[in-house]
Amino acid sequence: MNSVLDFLDFVSASPTAFHAAQQAAHRLEAAGFQRLDEHKAFELIPGGKYYLTRNRSAVLAFRLPKGALTHYQIVASHADSPCFKLKNTGESDAAGDCLRLNVEGYGGMIMSTWLDRPLSIAGRLLVRTPEGLASRLCDLDRDAVLIPNLPIHFNREVNKGYAFNAQVDMQPLCGGAGSRGLLLRELAESCGAAPEDVAGTDLFLYNRMPGTIWGAQDEFFSAPRIDDLQCAHASLLAFLSAPEPRGHADVYALFDNEEVGSGSKQGADSNLLSAALRRVSLAVGADPDAAIASSFMVSADNAHAVHPNHPEKYDDANRCRMNGGVVIKHNAAQKYTTDGASDAVFSEICRSAGVPVQHFFNRADVPGGSTLGHIANTHASMNSLDIGLAQLAMHSSYETAGTADPDFMIRALDAFYATDVQAEGDGDFRLA
């Protein structure tokens, strides 16, 4: 249960990907990891612990072996979640002497879950300083805006299936007619800047409702942004507690922009991972191509628990449940990268660690989603698989998962980092 409580604290401190990356960086530095500047040459020593950030919203950390580097063992997750992003022209007048924020959707959220609940604003400001432009994180950290529903009297079909229009239905109310500019001023002042010095913004709405543990026996917990901060948090705890690696280097990867396709400089569809692995290899005298080809990546992004009200949506033989253990995700079209070899390797590691494993397949007549594993693998090709923890209401503004599962994930990833997964030939492995 302690890991669940720590996760809820992590979520509360991570309203955006920028803040999640900052939280990860703070924990890495507290554990003795040295920050690298991606714009400078890497100077590394055997046994060293290092991390870097890109765009302040993605993190890559690695722990080197004291001996020769043979390969990497990577756990990758993502920090972003579906939400609403403010446009640059952030305010607009509305009827009723009201002021609205002008927003657009980021990722595939369940829109109705954002209605009629207090929301706040957080993100990044680019601020003019005497030294140039400085990137500063900001957070109102209070109930500041709300997206009101239309009364059923004017929308009598709302309970029969209503298509919400992001431009019409989802624009949040932020104040009265005399409140123009006040929120931007408050955001600027929260990070020590004057509003006139703000040159650029990346600002997002977020749900401030605290996480909670509930159920007849406290079996469940609910919180915003469980997908995918749950895997980001569990993999970070496992990475920080991992023993000194033998031969391989441990890697923790936290990407941004998975919810919009990963196609950014800080996403999985970038050179962030491949370039860093190559530079690390060269800095310690290892063959970069051989090291990457011999590596193993776990793509950790949450999975679907069978919905108790809609079991017909799931494959009868491959339904996953909350508190049932780590979920290994499969897809014949390779939207998930798991194959027989990677499944066998990770399942064997979990079996040895006493961690229960479930398997998820979509119904054959239902197209599934995808995640960052198969995208990252096109840039740094290696054996890999996709895993997650079973949850309900994925992409809602408030999601639900099982309280036993975080410990299962941490134990599984602890065992993964502690095991030397040695690729011997094409498709053969030795687990030491």
DSSP state letter for 409 = H
- Mapping DSSP onto H, E and C, the string for 352-374 reads HHCCCEEEECCCCCCCCCCCCHH
What local confidence, expressed as pLDDT, does residue 97 receive?
84
pLDDT tens per residue across all 432 residues of the chain? 789 999 999 999 999 999 999 999 999 999 999 999 999 999 999 999 999 999 999 999 999 999 999 999 999 999 999 999 999 867 877 777 889 999 999 999 999 999 999 999 999 999 999 999 999 999 999 999 999 999 999 999 899 989 999 999 999 999 988 888 899 899 999 999 999 999 999 999 999 999 999 999 999 999 999 999 999 999 999 999 999 998 899 999 999 999 999 999 999 999 999 999 999 999 999 999 999 999 999 999 999 999 999 999 999 999 999 999 999 999 999 999 999 999 999 999 999 999 999 999 999 998 877 899 999 999 999 999 999 999 999 999 999 999 999 999 999 999 999 999 988 878 788 898
Domains and CATH numbers, the chain: 2-81+224-431 (3.40.630.10), 84-207 (2.30.250.10)
Nearest to 18 by CA among 62, 80, 67: 80
What local confidence, expressed as pLDDT, does residue 425 receive?
76
Helix or strand run (H / E) with residue 327? strand 326-329
Two tokens, residue 360: 């998820």
- Quick check: pTM over 0.85? yes
Burial profile 395-418: b = 16 or more Cβ within 10 angstroms, e = fewer: bbbbbbbbbbbbbbbbbbbbbbbb
Strand partners, 213: 221
Strand order, beta sheet including 390-392: 212-214, 220-223, 399-402, 390-392, 303-304
Task: Please check whether residue 391 is in contact with residue 273, taking contact to mean a CB–CB distance below 8 angstroms.
Answer: no
